[in-house]
Amino acid sequence: MIMLREIIKELFYEQTRAILIILAVAWGTFAIVITLAVGDGLRLNFVQTMSDIGSRILVLTSGTSTKNYQGILANQSIKLTKRDAKAIADLPNLSSVTWRYNFQTKLRYQDKKTYADLRAVTPEYVLVHKVKTGPKQRFISYLDQKKMSSVIVLGSDTADRLFIKDNPVGNIVYVDNHPFTIIGVMQKRPQMIYADSVPDRWLNWIPSSTYELLNNPDKVDAIEVRYKDVGLIEQTKNSIQKLIAINHGADPSDPGIVDFQDVAQKQKKINNFFINMEIFLGIVGGLTLFLAGVGIANVMYASVKRATRQIGIQMALGATARYVVFRYIMESLVMTVIGGVIGMVVAVVFVYFINRIPLQGQILEWTGKPELSLSFLVLSIVVLVLGVTGLLAGLFPALKAAKIDPAEALTYE
Amino acid sequence: MSEKIIQIHDVGKTYHTGKIDFEALRNINLEIEKGDYVAILGPSGSGKSTLMHIIGCLATPTVGSYFLAGKEVSKFTSNDLAKARNLYIGFVFQKFNLMPQMTVLDNVSLPLLYRGIKTEERRSKAKEVLEQLGLASHLMHRSNELSGGQQQRVAVARALVTNPEVILADEPTGNLDSKSGEGVINLFNQLHEGGKTVILVTHDTAVAKNANRIIQIQDGTIRV
């Protein structure tokens, strides 16, 4: 405490030097906080986006046998069927199973027309994909499925293209000239990765039974399952593969007969990308702070040189070398802490206002609205980097100061 | 029998500058008793400053031994030397060597800071000494706001604040006009009368004459 007061007095005495150093540290701190906040914000936004949709989705599509087995020849396409989906539903570690038919067709609403992607699905689809509809609207029900109703849930993108603004429930959309009653419009949500080939907002859904009635398909385009425990995913895949092999008379050990896409794997890759980006941004910010640290060290070196005589006087009066080292490190740390606090406060205020700017643009449909994140992790990293910078910036000039010979220093002009 | 505060036996000091060795002191034998008033007199380059550095624990001898208050400081580490300076020596320099950024009060309390004494006690002791030296009205002034004579009185106050065994003054009147110099010398005379051991290092015979004992030094040795 005694020393701290002396140091602060000295900083006041050499205001210009102190202000320049403090500004450099404040700028460095601001840079590292903002870059880390951007990186962390994007990653957390992605995690949030994924948690809205869920990642434990496995998509099964038809495969091709890779070897001859009983009646099945190599290179023979294995077409997935409803029967496969129903059998898979009985396997453990699965919470919901649906199958889907994919098709593209023309939609007409009043005088508006558009081409759209359609999916004919079972009511379980909503459990797999967590699709949400607007208030007083609904997704395809078991009754729709049973009655093979001509009902449709529109994707938010299709609703926009057909200029549907108010609640369109009960209105008719023509699907390739067949009238379908709108029962819901999907609520908009950002989606950076998806189980299907296109984002959910581009899709429109009708009951699979209705599609089957109209088209009598002999295969499904995909079976989608939501699983419970990611740790059991390999066993689950094996069980599914064996079951499909048995259903189709194929080799149960042939991995080619069914194609798996795991959304969790995609999520992991993107999450890793964000973490790497965060590390990269952290390094960039850290370098800025490091440069500020070099600045401090330089100014401190000059300060030690200028204060050689004073250091000699202090030593003559009884200051030990240890005291001198400690004193200069403390001086560096004091300036770093003051600069760091200023930088952090400015960054917090900056983040507060930036997060309140209403962002607009198509990119947000994919990414959502990322907010700069000042998490405990970000602040901990900043405090750690600041501490090390302050310590190192002060250490070398301090060691130089401690090596001063008091007898020589007293004659220094 | 008086107690010997300083005992220097066969001390020599050699400086190594590049390939050249310079012998600043050789065969120095000196004893100073507690309460003595000694002047070390010599011309520029005679080695008196080197001797002062050794007596003041600012440097250690190359050969020989030096006992300060019974302790062989010639074998001390730099940290121990710093503590010995703080404990036993009160320095007064020719150029006053006050800290320009500090007030008179802070300057005088500085040696107590290195002893780890708390602010209030430091300030109270410093104030007491400054009042004794007639500087009570200048406590909050900075050194550059004072005259040379006043600055040297502040330096004397700083030397006295720790109540050291030895007051070691290096050309204390060298930067002062004759009137101020006289005032400072009177101060040392009073300190001696009060029982302090005072060592004046000077080239000025008139200053040296104030001491009870004059040690003349020339070419790095004491002239007998």
Q: Which of A115-119, A124-128, A158-162, A273-277 has the lowest mean pLDDT?
A: A273-277
Mean pLDDT of all residues in A287-314 = 82
Give tens-digit pLDDT for A374-385. Answer: 778 777 888 888
Residues comprising chain A, all counted: 413
Indicate yes or no: CB of A318 within 8 angstroms of CB of B114.
Answer: yes
Indicate yes or no: CB of B118 within 8 angstroms of CB of A2.
Answer: yes
Q: How many domains does chain B have?
A: 1
Phi, psi (rounded to 5 degrees) for A94? -120, 135
A193 has pLDDT over 70: no
Nearest Cα to A391, choosing from A334, A323, A320, A345? Answer: A334
Q: At what angle do helices B148-160 and B119-132 cross, to 10 degrees?
A: 130
> With contacts defined as CB-CB under 8 Å, which chain B residues touch A5?
119
Q: What is the pLDDT of residue B1?
A: 52
B43 in a domain, yes or no? yes
Mean pLDDT of all residues in A174-197 = 84
A292 has pLDDT over 80: no
Indicate yes or no: CB of B119 within 8 angstroms of CB of A5.
Answer: yes
Q: What is the pLDDT of residue A181?
A: 96
> With contacts defined as CB-CB under 8 Å, which chain B residues touch A316?
56, 58, 85, 91, 97
> With contacts defined as CB-CB under 8 Å, which chain B residues touch A320?
78-79, 82-83, 114
Secondary structure element (H or E) that encloses residue A381, with its range: helix A376-402
Q: Which DSSP string do the residues of B166-177 spell out, in sequence order?
A: EEEEESTTTTS-
Nearest Cα to A208, choosing from A86, A105, A84, A99? Answer: A99
B20 in a domain, yes or no? no
Q: Hey, which residues does B33 pair with through a beta bridge?
A: B4
Closest-CA residue of chain B to A3: B113
Mean pLDDT of all residues in A286-290 = 79
Distance CA A315, CA B99 (A): 13
What is the distance in angstroms between the Cα of B52 and the nearest Cα belonging to chain A? 10
Q: What is the pLDDT of residue B40?
A: 95
Q: What is the pLDDT of residue B50?
A: 92
Residues with Cβ < 8 Å from A129, sequence gap 6 or more?
A53, A54, A57, A195, A200, A224
> With contacts defined as CB-CB under 8 Å, which chain B residues touch A318?
82-83, 85-87, 111, 114-115, 162
Indicate yes or no: CB of B79 within 8 angstroms of CB of A321.
Answer: yes
The average confidence (pLDDT) of chain A is 85
A2 has pLDDT over 60: no
B146 in a domain, yes or no? yes
What is the distance in angstroms between the Cα of B207 and the nearest Cα belonging to chain A? 22
How far is C-alpha A388 from the geometric centre of its chain's CA atoms? 29
B85 in a domain, yes or no? yes
Nearest Cα to B117, choosing from B153, B71, B163, B169? Answer: B163
Phi, psi (rounded to 5 degrees) for B108? -75, -30
Q: Hey, which residues does A99 pair with through a beta bridge?
A: A223
A271 has pLDDT over 90: no
Q: How far is CA A328 from CA A90, A332, A352, A390, in A?
A: 72, 6, 36, 10
**Please, which pLDDT band fits residue A179 given cuts at 50, 70 and 90?**
very high
A102, A118 contact by CB (below 8 A): yes
Q: What is the pLDDT of residue A40?
A: 78
More confident residue, A10 or A97: A97
At B57, list the tokens: 């624990």
Q: What is the domain extent for residue B208?
A: 35-60+77-216
Q: What is the pLDDT of residue A366?
A: 58
Mapped onto helix, strand or coil, the DSSP state of residue B33 is: strand
> With contacts defined as CB-CB under 8 Å, which chain A residues touch B99?
310, 313
Q: What is the pLDDT of residue A54?
A: 66
Substitution target from A1, A9, A11, A317 for chain B, most B beta carbons within 10 A = A317
At A214, list the tokens: 């109209």
What is the distance in angstroms between the Cα of A401 and the nearest Cα belonging to chain B? 14
CB pairs under 8 A between A and B: 64
Distance CA A194, CA A190 (A): 10
Distance CA A269, CA A274 (A): 9
Residue-by-residue pLDDT tens, chain B, 224 positions: 568 999 999 999 999 888 888 999 999 999 999 999 999 999 988 999 999 999 999 999 999 999 999 999 988 999 999 999 999 999 999 989 998 888 999 999 999 999 989 889 999 999 999 999 999 999 999 988 999 999 999 999 999 999 999 999 999 998 888 888 999 999 999 999 999 999 999 999 999 999 999 999 999 999 86
**Please, which pLDDT band fits residue A87 given cuts at 50, 70 and 90?**
very high
CB contact, 8 Å: A410 with chain B? yes
A364 has pLDDT over 70: no
> With contacts defined as CB-CB under 8 Å, which chain A residues touch B82?
315, 318-321, 323
Query: Which residue type occupies B29?
Result: N
What is the distance in angstroms between the Cα of A345 and the nearest Cα belonging to chain B? 31
Distance CA B173, CA B155 (A): 12
A319, A310 contact by CB (below 8 A): no
B224 in a domain, yes or no? no
What is the distance in angstroms between the Cα of B218 and the nearest Cα belonging to chain A? 20
CB contact, 8 Å: A6 with chain B? yes
Mapped onto helix, strand or coil, the DSSP state of residue B133 is: coil
Indicate yes or no: CB of A310 within 8 angstroms of CB of B99.
Answer: yes
More confident residue, A291 or A156: A156
Q: How far is CA B121 from CA A4, A283, B146, in A?
A: 17, 49, 25
Closest-CA residue of chain A to B121: A2
Closest-CA residue of chain B to A324: B114
Q: What is the pLDDT of residue A370?
A: 63
Chain B segment 162-201 residues within 8 A of A by beta carbon are 162
B207 in a domain, yes or no? yes
Domain of B116: which CATH number? Answer: 3.40.50.300
**Please, which pLDDT band fits residue A167 given cuts at 50, 70 and 90?**
confident
A87 class by beta-carbon count within 10 Å (0-12 exposed, 13-18 middle, 19+ buried): middle
Q: Which of A115-119, A230-234, A365-369 has the lowest mean pLDDT?
A: A365-369
B221 in a domain, yes or no? no
What is the distance in angstroms between the Cα of A333 and the nearest Cα belonging to chain B? 20
Q: What whole-number percentage of chain A has pLDDT above 70?
A: 93
**Please, where are the H alpha helices in B56-203?**
78-88, 104-113, 119-132, 148-160, 178-193
ipTM value for the complex: 0.91
A350 has pLDDT over 70: yes
B24, B14 contact by CB (below 8 A): yes
Q: What is the pLDDT of residue B98?
A: 93
Chain A segment 307-336 residues within 8 A of B by beta carbon are 309-310, 313-323
**Please, which pLDDT band fits residue A363 given cuts at 50, 70 and 90?**
low
CB contact, 8 Å: A213 with chain B? no
CB contact, 8 Å: A337 with chain B? no
Chain B segment 27-56 residues within 8 A of A by beta carbon are 53, 56
B30 in a domain, yes or no? no
Indicate yes or no: CB of A317 within 8 angstroms of CB of B93.
Answer: no
Q: Hey, which residues does B32 pair with through a beta bridge?
A: B6
A351, A37 contact by CB (below 8 A): yes
Indicate yes or no: CB of B114 within 8 angstroms of CB of A317.
Answer: yes
Sheet bearing B197-202, strands edge to edge: B89-92, B166-170, B197-202, B37-41, B213-218, B221-223
Distance CA A161, CA A390 (A): 57
Task: Count CB neighbours of A131 within 10 A.
Answer: 22
Indicate yes or no: CB of A322 within 8 angstroms of CB of B79.
Answer: yes
Mean pLDDT of all residues in A93-109 = 93
CB contact, 8 Å: B140 with chain A? no
Sheet bearing B71-72, strands edge to edge: B20-33, B4-17, B63-68, B71-72
What is the distance in angstroms between the Cα of A35 and the nearest Cα belonging to chain B? 40
